[in-house]
Structure 1
Amino acid sequence: MMNVLTLAEAQAQGIDTVIVAAPDMHGRLIGKRLTPRKLEEFQHRGIAVSSCTFGWDLPQDIGLEVPYAGWHTGWRDFLLIPDMSTLVRAAWLERTAIVIADIVEEHDRSAVEVSPRRILQRQVDALKADGLSAAVGTELEFHLYRDSYDDLRQRGYRDRNPTTTIHSDYTVQQVNAWEPFFQRLRACLDETGLDVEMSQGEWGLGQWEINLTYGDAVDMCDRHTLFKLAVKDVASQSGLSATFMPKPNTGEVGSSCHIHLSMKGADTGSDEKQYPFWSARSKSHMSNRMLNAIGGILDHAADLMVIYAPTINSYRRTNSSEFAGSGATWGFDNRTVSCRVLGTSPTSLRAEWRVPGADVNPYLAVAAIIASVRDGIAKEMNPGVPREGDAYQQEVAIRFPTHLGLAADAWASSTFVAKAFGPEVVEQYALAAQWEWTRFQEAVTDWELDRYYENI
């Protein structure tokens, strides 16, 4: 994180509000607001938040039943412990700073193992024990509409008006009209310290992409989460609305979150030691370690789809031909595979995992990739031959679950998932996914009404 503040600096800059926040199961920030003076008092003591935030679903329905939190626990509190290395100005809010927190139990200050940041930290620690560290970049797309959240809420999020009305992928003139909005957004993101690389219009109507510079795993996920908050807030301040749904429109392209990952070694010296994915002797410059890492990602992807595709809407995108791959495939600079290899130097060579959509919880997704990479390297997994041409038209040995119910079952029954994440995490996220799938199965959709109401 860039532009990190001390509490004294925050006060000197006129900050009068600090948001202390942590990601919930969905990657959405929860927390409370304090003055800098009170944060100084509570930063070590911790800030109490109800465990209901890990015992309800996205609309905050407490029908979800999980062992960690519920009526059976009395909805006890846990504590947010601010990670002061993440204290930054929330430049899109007046006189406000924000700090990411870790979640611990109130009674003994042990980590809440089902919290996403903790899940990622455990995988990062395990990777470090292997003598490796991950460099990660998350590449988010989103849709931006001319309608406010309040207006759309009143009409059931229908009849939305996109900010671009013709396909504008990479074009300049067609997106210039929205540059005043994006100039302010990029400036706010950079002032906050999120380190924007570039932005562009995308192919979908009203679709956009902004890239942040890659970083270490936890830092990247912290910035990803703040980025989503900033985009939605700045849109709302402008009378607009942004959505990170993977597929907000039938028949239109969806929004992805491609995740880029490279590795650094603890050793210094040769490029191969510093960058374990690199081989100067290989024609492709890929080391056996990188091949094994890709093998692990592909081999375990089906069991991890509840993480990579965590909502009902996720599968509208992954079941399509929208450049998310179709099963366990990989190739060099090929957008039709699920794992794309990019880069031509020791520092740029990386794997791009193309399956996740914009709804993904970054902490969980990056944790899942790291766990898969570690297992792939340890077991020397072979990813098979790289695909050339249109991988959608080729036979695939491993297919991924096609809806959240199947993904939840695969996650819950996987021995790899149980070993990598532990039974507490497996049960928490299996039950949450199964609850979401059950709620969807009980719902009567517009598609059903349109198709059956008059015709059957």
Structure 2
Amino acid sequence: MKNSKGEWGHGQHELNIRYENILTMADHHCIFKQCLKETAEQIGWSVTFMAKYASDQAGSGCHLHISLWQGNNNCFAGNKTIAGIKCSDEFCWFLAGWMKYFPELMVFYAPTVNSYKRYQDASWAPTSLAWSPDNRTAGFRIVGEGESLRIECRIPGADCNPYLAFAAAIASGLDGIKNRIELTEPFRGNAYTATSSDHVEKLPLTLDEALALFAKSRFARETFGQDVMEYYHHFFELEIKAYQQAVTDWEKRRYFEQI
């Protein structure tokens, strides 16, 4: 069901959890994390799922692989060909919807101040909204074929709440299907160096910026309801305020002697 392997960072491991229906997958995500933390504690070690633990090391993401099924059939599989991918209209609409609403639901994919320190060019963490077949610089990477065809979103951090991240992804994708949102052309090349002339939108780079988009999102309000909007807006405001009032080690190192 689960396996792991060493990753690039010091003490960093990639954890792979076998695919399941989306609610069970979120359960497994949380149980696996909790199990690792408790096991580490028993032997005097510590495990963290911070998105960016050290400034000189790679951050930790949570890559979401999503496909849409009806019975035993993958609705993403089809006879349409785009960028060499054989897919369905539903695949295109779902991906387009997911990408369209991503910035205004960014707080559900990157929920902490620390989350945004992971988004650095050439850092394995995407910094822009682009999709492409098998391109790890793009936020959305298409993998598999036929019944295994799926969308891999590489943007969420290891600190995300899987229930919120999955809810945001499914709501966005289904709206894309409902409204038949047109999919943009696939990005080719290095998405880190993409500019506005490439028709690629940059991601919010701070929790403040992401929260501002969330606060004015009509889609989020209509999808999750006013009570949910107010609750999470308040929660993220408190997170930002707590950070703004904190005196960090970086500030002490930089300013203590020179000021």
Fold equivalence (TM over 0.5): yes
1:252 is paired with a residue of what secondary structure? coil
Q: Which has the higher strand share?
A: 1
| 1:400 to partner: Cα distance | 2.1
The one of 221, 240, 243 aligned to 2:45: 240
The one of 355, 362, 370 aligned to 2:170: 370
The one of 371, 379, 395 aligned to 2:195: 395
Equivalent residues, number? 254
| 1:440 to partner: Cα distance | 0.6
Q: Which has the higher helix share?
A: 2
1:432 and 2:232 correspond = no
Cα distance in structure 1, aligned partners of 2:189 and 2:43: 43
Task: Identify the residue that residue 213 of structure 2 maps to in structure 1.
Answer: 410
| 1:320 to partner: Cα distance | 4.4
Aligned residue identity for 2:57:
E
| 1:379 to partner: Cα distance | 1.7
Any gaps of 5 or more consecutive residues in structure 1? 1-194, 269-273
Rg (Cα) greater in structure: 1
User: Is the 1:199–1:210 contact (alpha carbons within 8 Å) kept by the matching residues of 2?
Assistant: yes
2:258 is paired with a residue of what secondary structure? coil
| 1:247 to partner: Cα distance | 0.5
Query: When the two structures are superposed, what TM-score results if normalisation uses the length of structure 1?
Result: 0.54
Cα distance in structure 2, aligned partners of 1:318 and 1:419: 29
1:357 is paired with a residue of what secondary structure? coil
The one of 193, 207, 211 aligned to 2:12: 207
Cα distance in structure 2, aligned partners of 1:319 and 1:380: 33
Cα distance in structure 2, aligned partners of 1:455 and 1:382: 54
- Over the matched positions of the two proteins, sequence identity in percent amounts to 40
**What does residue range 160-239 of structure 1 map to in structure 2 within 5 Å?**
195-196=1-2, 198-239=3-44
Q: Structure 1 runs of 4+ off > 3 angstroms?
A: none
The one of 54, 60, 80 aligned to 1:249: 54
Cα distance in structure 2, aligned partners of 1:385 and 1:323: 22
Query: When the two structures are superposed, what TM-score results if normalisation uses the length of structure 2?
Result: 0.94
Task: Identify the residue that residue 299 of structure 1 maps to in structure 2.
Answer: 100
1:200 is paired with a residue of what secondary structure? strand
Cα distance in structure 2, aligned partners of 1:423 and 1:255: 32
User: Is the 1:277–1:289 contact (alpha carbons within 8 Å) kept by the matching residues of 2?
Assistant: yes
Cα distance in structure 1, aligned partners of 2:204 and 2:165: 16
Deviations 1:154-183 (A, max 9, x none): xxxxxxxxxxxxxxxxxxxxxxxxxxxxxx
Backbone CA RMSD of aligned residues: 1.4
Greater RCO, CA 8 A, separation 6+: 2
The one of 144, 147, 161 aligned to 1:361: 161
Any gaps of 5 or more consecutive residues in structure 2? none
User: Is the 1:323–1:337 contact (alpha carbons within 8 Å) kept by the matching residues of 2?
Assistant: no
1:204 is paired with a residue of what secondary structure? coil
Cα distance in structure 1, aligned partners of 2:19 and 2:189: 29
1:430 is paired with a residue of what secondary structure? helix
